[in-house]
Amino acid sequence: MRVEPARASLVRMIQRLAPTLLLLLLLPLASSAAGFPAETTDLPPLPPAGEAVALPTGTADPDPVATGALLERMDSAAGRSDWQDAARAAWQLMVSGGGSERLRWIDAEGGTVWSAAIDAGAGNLGRMADALHRAGRDDLAEAVLRRALELGEPAEEDWAREAVGRLEAQTEPIRARTWDRLLEPLTLDIIDGEPVRTGDLLGDVLVLDFWASWCEPCREELPLMQAFHKENQHRGLHTFAVNVDEPRSVAKASARMLGIELPVAVYTPEMRLALDVVQVPTVILIDRAGRIRGRWEVFKGGTEDQIFWAIGEILDLKEAEPETIARQVAGEHAFSVRWMREFRAPLEGIEVIAPPDGSTRVVLTHSRTLLKLKPDGETEAKLSGVVAGRVVASEPDADGGYAVLSYRMGATGVSRVDFPAGTHTALEAPAPVFDARWADPREPQAGTVFGTLNGVALADREGAIAASAEIGLVRGLAPYPAGPAGNPSPVWLALTGRAEPRELTTLGADLSVLDKQVAGTHPWRLEKGTEGRFGLLPDSVRALATGRFFSGVEQDQVAVAGRGQLVVLLAETGRELFRARWEDVGHLAAGDLDGDGLDELIVAWGPKMAVLSSIDAEKRQKM
């Protein structure tokens, strides 16, 4: 049968529009069925003005269809300036918990146990507050703004910025001083003089100024340092000009040409291992207790003033003022900072190791380096040439030995480091890695399981692939709760899929696929939780750690690093215990570093890391 061209064009247009028309017809029905009235019906009235307003803190998982319907209604009413209707839709969104990105806590079968708002998401809270403000309900608008402040959403309107300023004043700063590394005992090899042991200078201030004859900034900086030294040496200042990688004769002649009368030392392998100077000029300041209090690696106009001011403060025995590293915005519990340390490059992974002998350690990676720290922050071991990335630790064996995996998401190289020997084995995954786990955490010799771009692969101790399952992109891999003895129960749970809907896939010990089910709305990553629970993380969540952090709370807790947020929730119910605005927070780990029965929370952001301990309620009131 021949169709006229005009009719054919009309038919094609109707076919293209049919899905959209059907969605428009069904959306009111879906929203009404979910318990939220459609635009043609009434929404619940706003709470009476003047009543105390408590922010909703429910942990039920909001219905995405209902949330979408309410957002559409709010925006539609705002578009026609019907602010009363827009305000009712906005408050209903607030009550339902919609309009934010949420962490879902699920059981082994994929059922939601609870969900919690972590991030403001697409800026919905600001629009909700504006609708309430325009409807004359600034009391409710301020309640929404408080939640926006807690979730890290900035205020856009002038009136909102004023309100947020008032709310900001009610937050509590979290302050810390930068941890100062103790200088390892060194012997300075003086070109024209006797060796000097740094340990003999304890009680005085020590400055090591690294230079080379070919370095033009060094020629400018070193005479200034010498003049400062002459003015302050009577106050207990010792300054050494450390020549880097030049023959002794060249260093001696160059110092004479520059008129340098400071003792000239040689940059020895011992100093290289302890201080790792990679460019000149570099100035390192050590206080009277032998701790490194300053390091400068760039010299330009004005830098010398900063250096001399810092040296003067140390000579005057002044302590550095603590800096505000975060602000607590909600929660009845609180943390203090035990110590904070800054490294030379952004951290890429952290983990806590807890051997049976109680020698708990923190393992971290940055710039192809793995460090093992003591509980007080001192470096115990350093290994170069590793893949710097996320760190996964095995459980200690009977002899106290353990191993860690370090991998960078999206790369194929994986590092395995065995302790106490500190030996490094380079592994190669069959495809880019997005997660890595020990095949048996109690026995690292059993090998490794990789979650990759193409599926799951089981590798032996040396990295040879023993089994694999082509199930697509693996966004997270976690050990499945143990089943009854003798039953062929699942061993692994994986979140798979590049596009929506993503799936939860259960795998056996041989990586055979046992079951698949839809994972829900927009999960980005899967992480192991506590007692057979798992976290389905939105893309705003960067890390998750579990432990018991707060005194008086006899249940496991979940720490979550969101987009500029640090949140601690009760693992059983999802109730919020603590929330802080923490810029660039990226990695978390948990472990009892001091043996008091409570876990410390280790937080990393950029090149910094802080160890947080619980503050009890009585101590908090006195602060």
- 485-to-144, 446, 493, 542 alpha-carbon distances in Å: 51, 20, 19, 36
Angstrom distance (rounded) from CA 201 to CA 185? 10
Pairing state of beta strands 576-581 and 565-570?
A: antiparallel
Chain mean position to CA 82: 42
How much of the chain, in percent, has pLDDT values that exceed 70? 89
Segment 314-330 mean pLDDT: 87
- Other C-beta atoms closer than 10 Å to the C-beta of 530 total 17
pLDDT band at 32, cuts 50/70/90? very low
**What per-residue confidence (pLDDT) applies to 18?**
46
Kindly report, residue by residue over 583-593, the tens digit of the pLDDT: 999 999 999 99
537 in Cβ contact with 544 (< 8 Å): yes
Contacts for 460 with CB less than 8 Å, ≥ 6 apart:
447, 466
φ, ψ (nearest 5 deg) of residue 173: -75, 145
Whole-number mean pLDDT of the chain? Answer: 86
**179 versus 353: which is more confidently predicted?**
353
Angstrom distance (rounded) from CA 251 to CA 269? 17
Angstrom distance (rounded) from CA 105 to CA 51? 33
Closest by CA to 455, choosing from 475, 438, 474, is: 474
**534 versus 16: which is more confidently predicted?**
534
How much of the chain, in percent, has pLDDT values that exceed 90? 57
Spatial strand order of the sheet with 101-106 comes to 112-119, 101-106, 534-537, 525-528
Which amino acid makes up residue 302? G
469 in Cβ contact with 456 (< 8 Å): yes
93 in Cβ contact with 66 (< 8 Å): no
The residue ranges of DSSP E strands in 292-432, in sequence order, are: 292-296, 323-330, 334-342, 349-353, 361-366, 369-373, 379-384, 390-393, 402-407, 413-419, 423-428
Quote the DSSP letter at residue 336.
E
For residue 37, pLDDT over 60 is answered with: no
435 in Cβ contact with 450 (< 8 Å): yes
Two structure tokens written together for 600:
């410390």
- Three-state DSSP at 407 gives strand
Kindly report, residue by residue over 41-51, the tens digit of the pLDDT: 578 889 888 77
Segment 230-257 mean pLDDT: 95
This prediction has a pTM of 0.78
Closest by CA to 591, choosing from 326, 446, 391, is: 391
**43 versus 543: which is more confidently predicted?**
543
End-to-end CA distance of the chain: 86
Angstrom distance (rounded) from CA 112 to CA 83? 35
Kindly report, residue by residue over 248-302, the tens digit of the pLDDT: 999 999 999 999 999 999 999 999 988 989 899 999 999 998 999 999 987 777 7
**What per-residue confidence (pLDDT) applies to 36?**
42
Closest by CA to 221, choosing from 161, 328, 301, 162, is: 301
Secondary structure percentages of the chain, helix, strand, coil, to 5: 25, 35, 40
549 in Cβ contact with 557 (< 8 Å): yes
Two structure tokens written together for 242:
């450390």
- Three-state DSSP at 430 gives coil
Angstrom distance (rounded) from CA 141 to CA 83? 13
Two structure tokens written together for 243:
């020549």
Contacts for 83 with CB less than 8 Å, ≥ 6 apart:
77, 131, 134, 135
**486 versus 93: which is more confidently predicted?**
93
Two structure tokens written together for 1:
């049968």
**417 versus 35: which is more confidently predicted?**
417
- Other C-beta atoms closer than 10 Å to the C-beta of 356 total 11
For residue 617, pLDDT over 60 is answered with: no
Pick from 297-301, 334-338, 604-608: least confident: 297-301
Pick from 14-28, 395-409, 527-541, 608-622: least confident: 14-28
Q: Which of the listed ranges 63-67, 166-170, 514-518 does the model predict with the highest average pLDDT?
A: 514-518
**What per-residue confidence (pLDDT) applies to 471?**
94
Q: Counting beta carbons within 10 angstroms of the beta carbon of residue 410, is it exposed (0 to 12), middle (13 to 18) or buried (19 or more)?
A: exposed
**What per-residue confidence (pLDDT) applies to 49?**
85
Residue identified by tokens 């408590």 is 54
Kindly report, residue by residue over 375-387, the tens digit of the pLDDT: 999 888 999 999 9
Which amino acid makes up residue 478? A
**What per-residue confidence (pLDDT) applies to 547?**
96
